[in-house]
Structure 1
Amino acid sequence: MEIKRKKTRTVYCGNVKIGGDAPISIQSMTNTDTRNIDKTVEQINKLEEAGCEIVRVAVPDMQAAQAIKEIRQKIHIPMIADIHFDYRLALEAIKNGVDKLRLNPGNIGDANRVKKVVMLAKERGIPIRIGVNAGSIDQRIVRKYGEITPEAMVESALEHVEILQNLNFEDIIISLKASDIKLTVEAYRLISEKVDYPLHIGITEAGTIKSGTVKSCIGIGAMLLDGIGDTLRISLTGDPVDEVKLAKEILKSIGLRNFGIKMVSCPTCGRTQIDLISLANRIESKLSKIDKPLTVAIMGCAVNGPGEAKDADIGIAGGKGSALLFKKGEIIRKVKEENIEAVLLEEIIKM
């Protein structure tokens, strides 16, 4: 069933289109010291190779802001400068070629400072992401609602939006993140009804690979199924390359992007008479290198084989020391267990 995405306006981050009819783009953030140019470039290139389409770097000081110039010259994907409090860092990042800013205008000083940043961003065609996190909401707003609520998060975001709008700046992207799934999802649902700016979605501080994957899949999946989200970042404590891999799997699983092979496999049961678990893991590893939008089914028996997996482009259904090879539910031939992997991969390559 097709997911109907909420209509948003279009913003460009470098050559990547965000919002409107554009595909949902994948972001990540480096965990290197931005001042270490070589290490940062190396990590960004690894992220790009994994499928990252926009990368964010921390800009804690002027040296990091100045490093952007050389980093930008050595990478191929758009770069975002993550700025907090110091408007001068934003100005320097823009001058050095950054493609987008992540900052909250209400947090960088008086109106004159905000205007300087906004005017230069507008002159250079640089969009601004307003990023409201649950832990950084103004205490005045928190007191108004008694606690951190979706309404409080949205009000905080809209206050920052208003600052930009009053300066006739509308190349805006909004994010409302918390580590609490329900709070995050409800905040995004609320703001999606109030604005047509593109939304950057994610569950912040989701955790380690294991717990963070679960939380991200639940929260981001819920928003995507609601048609909410124009660009996303998975937040994991670990290698940012894993963030990109998970983002691709989420988008692929829901059907919003095609990233090569989609594999389906059964959980196995007492009917399974081949070593399906090892087989599935080996095949999944080898299929990750094939960039063709096919659905491949690895099923344990005839019950879950051509019938339940009839929509798969190709697949196998295990038997006793053998498997049936099928395409679109039609059985092609029987294959001995020791030949299953080789035959299946050969057929996939032919396709």
Structure 2
Amino acid sequence: MASERQIHVGGVPIGGGAPVVVQTMTKTETADIAATLAQIRRVAEAGADVVRCAVPREKDVDALATIVAQSPIPVIADIHFNHTLALKAIDAGAHCIRLNPGNIGGPDKVAEVVAKAKLAGVPIRVGVNSGSLPENLRELEFTNPVEALVAAALQFVELMESLEFDNFKVSMKSTSVPNTIASNRLLAEKIPYPLHLGITEAGTKWSGSIKSAVGLGTLLADGIGDTIRISLSTFHAEEEVKVAWEILKALRLRRRGPDLIACPTCGRLQFDMDTVVAEVERRLEAYEDPIEVSVLGCAVNGIGEARHADFGITGAKDAGMIYAKGQPLKKVPTDRLVDELFAEIDRYYAAGKRVLVDERASAEAARWLSENEDDTAVTPERLAAAERAAAETEAAQAAAAREAESPVAGRRFQRPGATAGGDAAGAAEPAAA
């Protein structure tokens, strides 16, 4: 159910099969040009593809031209209530205008903005929010909030189409995760335009990230959604970008930077894994390549659970092991696990993305692993071996059963006069007639 239509915000394609676009919103006063540009640069570095700036006053739209000119990524002007600010934002070079037709002053004022956007080739994001629905749908919101959201979105789509304007995307947000999921699923079946996803006013970094991951992750897994924004109560917009990327990486929709895999720990843990994982995560921020790095808290399961990882460590009380793609590399003291891990990663890149293996060190690490494994643990390797053995036994039993059921079971036929070697040579000559 991916959108059929595609628009472009600056040079960024949205919809029509393009990768899901990550956006965020600046937390600064837009009129403070220096602070706003500094935050835009931070979110761009964190991975934002586009950024939105609130434009509630004349001084904000006055600053917009400078911000657009110096921003490393396309800028969307967020407009509410005052349609003249939208007109001025287009003149200032905004790459996209965010409008909520429900609070901008009526269809005539929307038509003015659309006409100017058409001439400038600027797309519009039509935003529907559960907190600002048109007046005619506010009663319905209390009885059927999902139907109210979809009805509002369809009204705005019809308005855009009546103005012969199709260079737009639609967002439909709610503070309710189930309502956001249900309404976007329904809308995706009804319109071909790109969809922007978000859980509005999601909450703190902790609760908001979880709500967003559940709501947006569900829709994205269904193939719904072309651009996303995580709405968190934080002044650090780059945190929203990081959460968005983790959602996309978890669904394998996009890749950016390393992917850290870490076991949840249990009573078998024999070293300070919390500190190790935090240090690995911090140091991985310096790498841009999308490699997978695993941290396992013990040697019970060996490296089977993270055999696919590009690099990893598994530890015990006094020593641990560095491995790459399931192959042991070296045994090291526990207190040097992180340093040695990154030494191997750096050697890998220095060698042109080739794992360098010291056979002696690798053999020592493999011995250490075998000595520390639990002989009774059901590891992936042992499970696979058990499944192979069971399959072989089943095949042998089936063959025996077929033999027993044969009408000639137990019989062995031999040509008359044939020798044990299958050759008639040397056999007694038949008697003369």
Measure, in 2, the Cα distance between the counterparts of 1:322 and 1:78. Answer: 50
Q: Which of 90, 95, 98 matches 1:99?
A: 95
Measure, in 2, the Cα distance between the counterparts of 1:48 and 1:57. Answer: 14
Q: Does 1:331 align with 2:328?
A: yes
Q: Does 1:286 align with 2:278?
A: no
1:143, CA displacement in angstroms? 2.5
Q: Does 1:277 align with 2:274?
A: yes
Aligned twin of 1:258? 255
Measure, in 1, the Cα distance between the counterparts of 2:246 and 2:274. Answer: 20
Listed one character per residue, the Cα deviations across residues 92-133 of structure 1 (whole Å, up to 9, x for unaligned) are 000010000110335433544322211110111111111111
Aligned twin of 2:307? 310
Aligned twin of 2:124? 128
Q: Does 1:74 align with 2:64?
A: no
Larger RCO, structures 1/2 (Cα 8 Å, 6+ apart): 1
Listed one character per residue, the Cα deviations across residues 18-73 of structure 1 (whole Å, up to 9, x for unaligned) are 11221111111111111222221121112112211111111112221221111111
Q: Which of 137, 140, 148 matches 1:141?
A: 137
Give the conservation status (yes or no) of the 8 Å contact 2:22–2:50.
Answer: yes
Q: Which amino acid aligns with 2:150?
A: V
Give the conservation status (yes or no) of the 8 Å contact 2:177–2:211.
Answer: yes
Aligned twin of 2:422? none
Q: Which amino acid aligns with 2:261?
A: V
Q: Which amino acid aligns with 1:13?
A: V
Unaligned runs of 5+ in 2: 349-433
Give the conservation status (yes or no) of the 8 Å contact 1:134–1:178.
Answer: yes
Give the conservation status (yes or no) of the 8 Å contact 2:3–2:188.
Answer: no
Q: Which amino acid aligns with 2:337?
A: I
Aligned twin of 1:348? 345
Measure, in 1, the Cα distance between the counterparts of 2:92 and 2:78. Answer: 14
SS in structure 1 of the partner of residue 122 of structure 2: coil
Aligned twin of 1:201? 197
Aligned twin of 2:188? 192
Measure, in 2, the Cα distance between the counterparts of 1:166 and 1:26. Answer: 30
Measure, in 2, the Cα distance between the counterparts of 1:304 and 1:103. Answer: 54
Give the conservation status (yes or no) of the 8 Å contact 2:23–2:48.
Answer: yes
Measure, in 2, the Cα distance between the counterparts of 1:119 and 1:344. Answer: 58
1:267, CA displacement in angstroms? 1.2
SS in structure 1 of the partner of residue 329 of structure 2: strand
Task: State the superposition RMSD in angstroms.
Answer: 1.6
Q: Does 1:16 align with 2:17?
A: no
- Give the TM-score normalised by the residue count of structure 2: 0.77
**Aligned 1:82-97 pairs, distance under 5 A:** 82-97=78-93
Measure, in 1, the Cα distance between the counterparts of 2:104 and 2:209. Answer: 33
Give the conservation status (yes or no) of the 8 Å contact 1:137–1:153.
Answer: yes
Measure, in 1, the Cα distance between the counterparts of 2:34 and 2:144. Answer: 40
Measure, in 1, the Cα distance between the counterparts of 2:106 and 2:274. Answer: 60
SS in structure 1 of the partner of residue 64 of structure 2: helix
SS in structure 1 of the partner of residue 306 of structure 2: coil
Measure, in 1, the Cα distance between the counterparts of 2:144 and 2:262. Answer: 41
Measure, in 2, the Cα distance between the counterparts of 1:225 and 1:92. Answer: 38
Q: Which moved more, 1:281-290 or 1:332-341?
A: 332-341
Measure, in 2, the Cα distance between the counterparts of 1:165 and 1:21. Answer: 22
Aligned twin of 1:26? 22
Q: Which moved more, 1:171-180 or 1:333-342?
A: 333-342
Listed one character per residue, the Cα deviations across residues 175-201 of structure 1 (whole Å, up to 9, x for unaligned) are 111111101111111111111111110
Note closer, same or farther for the CA distance 1:268–1:343 as it changes in structure 2 (3 Å cut): same
Q: Which of 298, 301, 304 matches 1:301?
A: 298
Measure, in 2, the Cα distance between the counterparts of 1:139 and 1:114. Answer: 16
Give the conservation status (yes or no) of the 8 Å contact 1:305–1:316.
Answer: no
Give the conservation status (yes or no) of the 8 Å contact 1:151–1:190.
Answer: no
1:90, CA displacement in angstroms? 0.7
Q: Which of 226, 230, 235 matches 2:231?
A: 235
Give the conservation status (yes or no) of the 8 Å contact 1:304–1:317.
Answer: no
Aligned twin of 1:54? 50
| Larger CA Rg, structure 1 vs 2 | 2
- Give the TM-score normalised by the residue count of structure 1: 0.94
SS in structure 1 of the partner of residue 143 of structure 2: coil
1:333, CA displacement in angstroms? 2.7
1:330, CA displacement in angstroms? 2.3
Measure, in 1, the Cα distance between the counterparts of 2:57 and 2:80. Answer: 10
Measure, in 2, the Cα distance between the counterparts of 1:309 and 1:218. Answer: 25
Aligned twin of 2:168? 172
Measure, in 2, the Cα distance between the counterparts of 1:271 and 1:177. Answer: 44
Measure, in 1, the Cα distance between the counterparts of 2:302 and 2:63. Answer: 55
Measure, in 2, the Cα distance between the counterparts of 1:246 and 1:104. Answer: 26
Give the conservation status (yes or no) of the 8 Å contact 2:208–2:231.
Answer: yes
